């Protein structure tokens, strides 16, 4: 059964969502990150996907105080993304309470360093973030395209112990038009030893059911939860506590 992970994106300490990765198309939501996290935990969630959008642009974590508060005041396991480009940053995020860290830009620009993290910290704690726009990997807070496709990026680390990939189709992100399930199914079939997380476009419980039916293992939901298109009580059978 697929695992559902709620997402909180942060700018200036606030819960936000971007549309297609555009910082100029930002919606700010009323709950604080802690309030949102506590609601998800109360409903039965075991994991939280927390994205530091300020950190992604700044190339270093910015909202670590938010991570510390959520880690200290909830029992959620936190998966962190945004701004981790050095081992010093990586250790700061782990020290602030993250259980897993998603790395994208550093994997593209310094693959040797990312491979060393897989070895040193373990593939259960280090996740490859593959954000895709127009077929190419996007880095630095989705502001730059690399000359590399998703398969090429995964191939760089498939032999180095990589076991988790979060793949975001940026064209779908924040659009509530359904995820790119054909893309994720193709990747899951090609790399059966890697768990792929569906990210971007989830708009209804039907999207979750369809992803589950295709044998996909994880799915992140953000905007659809914020806007009430999906109710937390509808997801109880897919929450997973560890």
Neighbours of 88 (CB within 10 A): 9
- Is 95 among the residues known to form the active site? no
Q: What phi and psi values does residue 26 have, to the nearest 5 degrees?
A: -115, 135
Q: Which of 9, 54, 169, 173 is catalytic?
A: 9
Map tokens 């602030």 to a residue.
96
Q: Which residues pair with 10 in a beta bridge?
A: 15, 52
CB of 166 within 8 A of CB of 81?
Answer: yes
**Angle, vertex CA 17, rays to CA 174 and CA 129, nearest 5:** 75
- Is 52 among the residues known to form the active site? no
Q: Which of 52, 54, 131, 207 is catalytic?
A: 131
Beta-sheet pairing, 126-133 with 164-169: parallel
Q: Any idea which residues carry the catalytic annotation?
A: 9, 131
């Amino acid at each position: 059964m697929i695992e559902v992970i709620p997402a909180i994106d942060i700018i200036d300490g606030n819960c936000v969502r971007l549309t297609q990765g555009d910082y100029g198309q930002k919606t700010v939501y009323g709950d604080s990150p802690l309030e949102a996290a506590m609601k998800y935990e109360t409903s039965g969630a075991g994991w939280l996907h927390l994205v530091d959008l300020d950190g992604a642009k700044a190339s270093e974590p910015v909202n670590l105080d938010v991570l510390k508060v959520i880690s200290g005041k909830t029992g959620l396991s936190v998966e962190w993304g945004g701004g981790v480009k050095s081992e010093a940053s990586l250790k700061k995020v782990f020290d602030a309470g993250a259980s897993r860290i998603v790395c994208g830009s550093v994997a593209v620009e310094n693959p040797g360093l990312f491979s060393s993290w897989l070895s040193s910290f373990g593939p259960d704690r280090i996740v490859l973030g593959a954000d895709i726009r127009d077929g190419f990997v996007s880095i630095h807070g989705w502001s730059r395209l690399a000359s590399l496709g998703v398969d090429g990026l995964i191939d760089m680390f498939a032999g180095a112990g990589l076991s988790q990939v979060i793949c975001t189709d940026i064209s779908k992100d924040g659009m509530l038009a359904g995820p790119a399930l054909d893309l994720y199914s193709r990747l899951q079939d090609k790399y059966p030893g890697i768990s792929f997380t569906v990210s971007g476009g989830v708009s209804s419980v039907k999207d979750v059911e369809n992803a589950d039916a295709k044998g996909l293992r994880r799915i992140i939901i953000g905007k659809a939860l914020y806007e009430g298109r999906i109710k937390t009580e509808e997801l109880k059978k897919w929450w997973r506590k560890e």
